[in-house]
């Protein structure tokens, strides 16, 4: 594993003239427009990077973007990997571990999610304050990779409190509501049943999706601070459940994208 990570990192460095990213950003379903805010210096296809998985989801572009955002060096995953695509958890989080080898200091993660909190509405943004892992596995199962982190990493403060507070101030200054809540991660790819929505809400989640938590676990294992944010693209409360297709999710994400892009840009600027 370490050798594969090193080979991937070496390839990226060789093809970006030693570009040194400070921050990593993972863009979720329908949230690729942030790339328009970036002064792109290099763009690499996942398929060309040794040992990288290749995204199979149509709304995930499958490119690694390196450039500047708000004057800071960033590396951006335009498309992520999911357990439901058939990848192992180690494959899902492989790019995050490569980021660590590239000396990325902080990770920003976004996703599209179903809203479970009755106070939420479609197209709202929710800062993730904590998570519930309902995936069938996680990337730390098996022999610990001591070079990356400890056998038993603490997860009592997964999402960086300082960046959460910064984000709330940015949203207030921009005059839009920014929700806070707990994100539950499920395997997918099917959306939840009514009973499952009810169960996940009852155990304490405000939103539910099919990603993010594996990458966050890997990042925290390596000591990397994390900021997470969800776009509420559909509602799973009993009175607002309706049949949802991918286009509905993408349309809702598109409405929220300008606020998301501004928020991440300003947050990066303030680090």
Task: Supply the CATH number for residue 81's domain.
Answer: 3.40.50.1580
Q: How far apart are CA 190 and CA 131, in angstroms?
A: 20
Predicted confidence at residue 44, as pLDDT, reads: 95
Q: Exposed, middle or buried by CB within 10 Å (0-12, 13-18, 19+), for 250?
A: middle
Please choose, from the candidates 208, 206, 268, 252, the residue with its C-alpha nearest in 3D space to the C-alpha of residue 30: 252
Map residue 260 onto helix, strand or coil.
helix
Q: Write the burial class of residue 195 (CB in 10 Å: 0-12 exposed, 13-18 middle, 19+ buried).
A: exposed
pLDDT of residue 206: 98
Whole-number Å distance between alpha carbons of 74 and 269: 11
Q: For residues 200 and 133, what is the distance between their CA atoms, to the nearest angstrom?
A: 11
The pLDDT value given to residue 244: 84
Residue with tokens 């942030």: 34
Per-residue pLDDT tens, the chain, 271 aa: give them.
899 999 999 999 999 998 999 999 999 876 777 888 899 999 999 999 999 987 665 544 689 999 999 999 999 998 889 999 999 999 999 999 999 999 999 999 999 999 999 999 999 999 999 999 999 999 999 999 999 999 999 999 999 999 999 999 999 999 999 999 999 999 999 999 999 999 999 999 999 999 999 999 999 999 999 999 999 999 999 999 888 888 888 888 889 999 999 999 999 999 9
**What are the backbone angles phi and psi of residue 7, rounded to the nearest 5°?**
-65, -40
**Cα–Cα distances in Å, from 124 out to 83, 112, 194, 255, 257?**
26, 10, 21, 9, 10
Please name the residue that has the structure tokens 């500047």: 68
Question: What tokens appear for 18 in the block?
Answer: 């030693």
For residue 191, how far is the Cα from the chain centroid? 19
Q: Looking at the 3D structure of the chain, how many domains does it have? A: 1
**C-alpha–C-alpha distance, residues 48 and 112, integer Å:** 27
Q: So what's the pLDDT on residue 61?
A: 62
Q: CA-based angle 27:151:129, to the nearest 5? A: 40
Q: Can you give the residue range of the structural domain that contains 129?
A: 2-269
* pTM across the whole model: 0.94
Written in H, E and C, the secondary structure of 92-160 is HCHHHHHHHHCCCCEEEEEEEEEECCCCCCCCCEEEEEEEEECCCCCCCCCCCCCCCCCCCCCCCCCCC
Phi, psi (deg, nearest 5) at residue 255: -65, -40
- As a whole number of angstroms, the distance between CA 118 and CA 196 comes to 16
C-alpha 260/C-alpha 183 separation (Å) is: 17
H or E element at residue 39:
strand 39-45
């Amino acid at each position: 594993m370490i050798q594969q990570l090193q080979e991937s990192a070496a390839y990226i460095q060789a093809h970006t003239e030693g570009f040194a990213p400070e921050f990593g950003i993972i863009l979720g379903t329908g949230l690729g427009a942030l790339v328009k805010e970036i002064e792109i210096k290099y763009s690499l296809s996942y398929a060309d990077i040794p040992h990288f998985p290749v995204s199979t989801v149509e709304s995930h572009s499958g490119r690694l973007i390196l450039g500047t955002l708000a004057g800071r060096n960033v590396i951006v995953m335009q498309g992520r990997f999911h357990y439901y695509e058939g990848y192992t958890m180690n494959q899902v989080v492989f790019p995050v571990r490569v980021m660590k080898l590239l000396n990325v200091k902080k990770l920003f993660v976004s996703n599209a999610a179903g809203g479970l909190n009755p106070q939420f509405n479609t197209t709202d943004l929710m800062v993730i304050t904590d998570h519930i892992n309902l995936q069938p596995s996680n990337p730390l199962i098996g022999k610990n990779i001591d070079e990356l982190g400890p056998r038993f990493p603490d997860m009592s403060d997964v999402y960086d409190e300082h960046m959460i507070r910064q984000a709330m101030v940015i949203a207030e200054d921009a005059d839009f509501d920014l929700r806070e809540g707990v994100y539950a991660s499920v395997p997918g790819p099917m959306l939840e049943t009514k009973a499952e929505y009810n169960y996940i809400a009852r155990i304490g989640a405000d939103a539910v999706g099919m990603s993010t938590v594996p990458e966050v676990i890997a990042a925290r294992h390596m000591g990397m601070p994390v900021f997470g944010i969800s776009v509420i693209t559909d509602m799973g409360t009993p009175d607002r459940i309706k049949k949802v297709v991918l286009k509905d999710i993408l349309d809702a994400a598109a409405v929220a994208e300008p606020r998301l892009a501004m928020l991440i840009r300003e947050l990066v600027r303030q680090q």
